[in-house]
Structure formats: structure tokens, C-alpha cells
Amino acid sequence: MSTGLRKGLTSYGDAGFSLFLRKAFIKAAGYSDDALDRPIIGITDTASDYNPCHGNAPQLIEAVRRGVMLSGGLPMAFPTISIHESFSHPTSMYLRNLMAMDTEEMVRAQPMDAVVLIGGCDKTLPAQIMGAASAGIPAIVLPVGPMVVGHHRGEVLGACTDCRRLWGQHRAGKIDEAEIEVISGRLAPSVGTCMVMGTASTMACMIEGLGLSLPHSAAIPAPHAERLRCGEATGRVAVEMARRGGPAPKALLTPGSLRNAMVVLQAIGGSTNGLVHLAAIAGRVGLRVDLEEFDRVGREVPVLVDLKPSGDHYMEHLHHAGAVPRLLQELEPFLDLEAPTVMGGTLRDYMNLAEEVPGQTVIRPRSNPLKSTGGMAVLRGNLCPGGAVIKHAAATPALLQHEGRAVVFTSVEDMTNRIDDPSLDVAADDVLVLQNAGPKGAPGMPEAGYLPIPRKLAQAGVKDMVRISDARMSGTAFGTIVLHITPEAAVGGPLGLVRTGDRIRLDTANRRIDLLVDEAELERRAADFAPPRPAPKRGYAKLFHDTVLQADRGCDFDFLAGEDDPAE
């Protein structure tokens, strides 16, 4: 296989001319023949004024460049799209596959022997790994790192668990307009990703557990000098990978490493989004995430990391406590430590780098877990033949076994319009149901699964209710919330058959959620099914609608899942 500048020549029908032309153009940027003869390391540039989470990407790119050049390689940064949670309409998930396609095709189209994937804000790292896995060249991940914490009136704050908690207090009339404005300036006090165990932190930890990034890379805060040294080291390793010709992501994404990622996801009390993204990543190398296996892992692996929203601390505290390598040490009995990593060794090497931090309480020992079982459970039942997920670590224990009357919202818009209506017929023991918020329904499976508590109940002191939907939920959110109900309502799933007044039973202990309506009535309702809105006719919206898979397949596009042609 050709390497360096000779890789993937532009088709002019004359390979010699193609290389000659390529050299002629790149020399316009001042490169010497010596530089152009080195292993080429691509570096994804996902800096964007719309993405403050990636605000340190320019400094990280410089650090990676330094590492690449110190090891004798040629760094070549190139842009891809960037996705920030709060600047993506209708939702970042809608754009994840577009970023995966962009990353895959730019990695494939441009000559590089290895690629450094710099990302972090929720959907970006999954998108980049999906793309790189399909492109098939050696790839190493460098997360941008978490923000440092904020402070307000003596309290430690962080995006975005505290965003939700304090906004809830504002809705309940306990925080006035002036104070909530002050708080908005203190929740995200630096560049970097949300510093609770939200989706960004979850993915960074899982990726380290998958051996796709360097040890400690998940938790070093974004503004720390150590993050830059991690960038330099990543550049060095990328050159070694280019020289060795591997490992490509496919060699690292094995059934064993995927199970390791599930173990980490459960032990950190991670975001439910981690499961969707893991399914999409696995799909790119022809593997499936087994939801029953994930549930089994959850029954035996305790939650050991004491971070919000399940616990009390933040990512910088996890870093100071020894981070993922220290966690791996606690998880040793559950892990396949022979799983390979980007460094050419095994996950055992990562674990052996663990530092013992006297007195730390962020990473609990197995003998004193935060929760005795994992953070998430997989539910089945007549409401979700394809499965659903509940993050019981962040739920109200008394609501995990619950039967109540359904109060149905037929779309996100319907919910927005009615949830705070004082005349809404709702009580604290009802079950709030949101339909048509899945992959096709919304579209893009928005993080709308955290239905707000109706204002009149919130003002009366209600803090949690059972809420169910085919949507996702931010990893920073909390509550007794059933998500990812599959198949979704918009494709005729049973969730769409629920009517206000029906009874619903949540039985988390037995991993079930059921609609207590007889079969004949459900068949009558199913006969009246109609899609919630007309299918889009053009552009990315049509591509998304026509090809997006359900949550159990990671919401990838059907034509992107599976193994692809090898890179040239």
C-alpha cells in the first residue's frame, strides 16, 4: 500500500502526473522535499466560533504538531464540521452522522498515514470514531478535555447538571431573573466540555477504556498545561502508529473492548447516550451491541465514580483522583485487560499507570461503591419490543417500581405548549409520556426525554415523576426517566398507541415497562396509525429520514453501518 503523499492520488489517469501536481501545489505552502517524505499525520481541526467547548483546539493542534515533528512526522491539520450541543438545530444528534461522513471522507480523500481526532463536545468524538473506523487508517483520539468548575455563593457549579437544577429552581420561583443571569456566567467558566459525567465526559472515559486514546486523556481539564503535554504525546504516538501501519480502529474495536466500554459506562454512572454511540461505533466494524449483555454488565458492575449527576464531584476531581487508569484498577475483575490499545500494548498497561491518591473519595473501592449495581438498565415489555433504557443511578428509588396514569404529549411541540398550562390534568403520580421524539419522529432524537415537571407541580414541590419517551436525555440530567423506547412512535411503535388515561407499569427490578391495555384495543389503535408528519423531500433531511436506524443500532444511517471498502 502506498504511504505519505503518494496515498490516494487524485485521478488524472497518470499516477506520476498526479503526484507531480500534488507536490507542486503543496510546495506553494513552503514545504521541503524532506518534510514531504515523512509519515503524514492528519489532525482534525474542529475549532469553531460556534463551539466554545472546542475553544482550546488551536492550542491542542499546536501541541500535536510539536509531538509529530519531534518524532519525525509531518503534521497536516484539516477542517471538518464541528457540532456544539447548544448551537445545533434541531439537535446535535441530527448532525452526528453528517460529521461522521465528513470525517470519513476527508480522512479517505487526503493523504495521511494516521489521523489524530481532536474533539469532545457530545456528538463529536462518536462521529469522528465512526468516520475513522470506516476510513480504516490508524487513528488516535485526543479529547479537548473538561471545563474547570464554577462557583456561585459558596457552591461549586458545573455544566450542565447544575444548569438544569438551577433552572428548575428558577421555574419554581426560587431564583429570580437577576440571579439566574449571574448564574449563566458561572456555569461554564472555561473552554472544554461539560465537567459533569455528561455525554462528553462519558465518551472520553469510554474511549480511553476502548484503548483509542492515551491513558489519562479523558479527565485532564481543558485549560491545564498537562492537556497540552497529552496532545504532544498523542502526536508522538500517532507517528509510531503511522510507521507500524496500525492499529486501525477496527483492530481495537473487538467484542472484548466493546464489553470493556460497557463496564466503564456502567461504573462511571455515564450518560445513556454512551450506549447509542457505542452501538453506532460497533456497527461501523460489523459488530452489534447486545443490550442484554449491557444489562448483565450493569447487574454486576457497581457505580464507583462519584460524579454529578449520580454523585457529587466533577471531572477535574476525577483527574486529581487518578482518573480512568485508577478506575480500571478497581474494575480489574470485570475487564478484558488483554484488549489492545493505540499504544501497541494492552489495557493492562493503562491500568498499571494508575496513581494511588491518598484520601481521595471520587473513585470508590469495590468494597464501598456509590451504587452496588451499574448506572443503567435495559427494559423490555409491550411498550418497547426493541428495548428501552433507564438510568436508575440518577432516578428516585421510590419511583423505580411504579404504576400510574399516562398523560400523553404527542410531540415535543405539544409538550412545550401544554406542560405549564395551569389547566393541564396532571398529578404527581402520573406517568408523563412523550411520543414522536425518536430518530425519525422529531427528527434527530432530541434530548427531550427529560420532560420538565409541570410548573404547577414543581411549584408544589414535586421534584421527580416517571417520564417515558422515544427521545434521548442529556447525560447531565437526572430523574426517573425511561428513554430510547424502540421502535419509536413515528414508525408505528407501541409508544404511539398510548392515550391519556391508560395505565403504565414500570417494573425496573424485573426490567419491564408495560402498557396495561388489552391486545384487541391496541390492535384497533394500531390500525389507525399514520406518520406524524410528511416525509422530507430533499437534502440532508431526506437522507436522514430515509436511512436513520433505530436507537438499538445507534441511529447510524443504514448505508453507513457495516464494513466498508478498505482505504486505498
Residue 479 makes CB contacts below 8 A (sequence gap 6+) with: 394, 395, 396, 450, 464, 465, 467
What would the grid cell of residue 162 be?
A: 447544575
**Minimum separation from the CB atom of position 92 to ligand FES (A):** 9
DSSP secondary structure code for residue 390 in this structure: E
**Minimum separation from the CB atom of position 126 to ligand FES (A):** 12
Q: Which is nearer to ligand FES, 277 or 371 (CB)?
A: 277
316 near 195, Cβ under 8 Å? yes
Q: Is 208 in the site for ligand FES (CB under 6 A)?
A: no
Q: Which is nearer to ligand FES, 123 or 259 (CB)?
A: 123
Residue whose C-alpha cell is 471498502: 565
CA distance 223 to 186: 16
**Range 179-198, binding ligand FES (CB under 6 A):** 193-194, 198
Q: Segment near ligand FES (CB under 6 A), from 81-89, 203-211, 266-274, 376-384?
A: 81-89
Q: Which is nearer to ligand FES, 217 or 329 (CB)?
A: 217
Q: Which is nearer to ligand FES, 136 or 198 (CB)?
A: 198
CA distance 495 to 504: 11
**Minimum separation from the CB atom of position 255 to ligand FES (A):** 29
**Kind and range of the H or E run holding 353:** none
Q: Segment near ligand FES (CB under 6 A), from 79-87, 99-107, 315-323, 354-362?
A: 79-87
CA distance 138 to 145: 22
406 near 433, Cβ under 8 Å? yes
Q: Is 106 in the site for ligand FES (CB under 6 A)?
A: no
**Minimum separation from the CB atom of position 160 to ligand FES (A):** 6
**Range 479-518, binding ligand FES (CB under 6 A):** none
CA distance 40 to 36: 8
**Minimum separation from the CB atom of position 405 to ligand FES (A):** 35
How big is the chain, counted in residues? 568
Q: Which is nearer to ligand FES, 205 or 426 (CB)?
A: 205
Residue whose C-alpha cell is 483527574: 319
**Minimum separation from the CB atom of position 84 to ligand FES (A):** 6
Q: Segment near ligand FES (CB under 6 A), from 62-70, 80-88, 218-226, 494-502?
A: 80-88
Return the number of other C-beta atoms located less than 10 Å from residue 312's C-beta: 13
Most distant pair of Cα atoms in the chain: their distance: 76
Q: Which is nearer to ligand FES, 230 or 506 (CB)?
A: 230
Half-sphere exposure of 403 (CA within 13 A, CB side): 7
CA distance 430 to 428: 6
**Minimum separation from the CB atom of position 195 to ligand FES (A):** 9
Among 41, 53, 203, 406, binds ligand FES (CB under 6 A): 53
Binding mask 121-140 for ligand FES (x = CB under 6 A): xx------------------
**Range 147-186, binding ligand FES (CB under 6 A):** 159
Q: What's the start-to-end Cα distance of the chain, in Å?
A: 7
Q: Which is nearer to ligand FES, 48 or 234 (CB)?
A: 48
463 near 450, Cβ under 8 Å? no
Q: Segment near ligand FES (CB under 6 A), from 84-92, 404-412, 419-427, 433-441?
A: 84-92
Residue whose C-alpha cell is 505519505: 4
CA distance 378 to 391: 9
Q: Is 555 in the site for ligand FES (CB under 6 A)?
A: no
Q: Which is nearer to ligand FES, 129 or 200 (CB)?
A: 200
**Minimum separation from the CB atom of position 546 to ligand FES (A):** 29
Half-sphere exposure of 181 (CA within 13 A, CB side): 3
Binding mask 326-355 for ligand FES (x = CB under 6 A): ------------------------------
Q: Which is nearer to ligand FES, 74 or 195 (CB)?
A: 195
Among 85, 113, 330, 556, binds ligand FES (CB under 6 A): 85
Q: Which is nearer to ligand FES, 159 or 458 (CB)?
A: 159
Residues in the interface with ligand FES (CB under 6 A) total 11
CA distance 427 to 310: 26
Among 84, 164, 186, 511, binds ligand FES (CB under 6 A): 84
Q: Is 200 in the site for ligand FES (CB under 6 A)?
A: yes
Q: Is 5 in the site for ligand FES (CB under 6 A)?
A: no
Residue 38 makes CB contacts below 8 A (sequence gap 6+) with: 4, 72, 73, 74
Q: What is the 3-state secondary structure (H, E, C) of 451-492?
A: CCCCHHHHHCCCCCCEEEECCCCCCCCCCCEEECCCCCHHHC
Q: Is 434 in the site for ligand FES (CB under 6 A)?
A: no
**Minimum separation from the CB atom of position 502 to ligand FES (A):** 35
Q: What is the 3-state secondary structure (H, E, C) of 484-531?
A: CCCCCHHHCCHHHHCCCCCEEEEEHHHCEEEECCCHHHHHHHHHCCCC
Question: Binding residues for ligand FES, per CB under 6 A?
Answer: 53, 84-86, 121-122, 159, 193-194, 198, 200
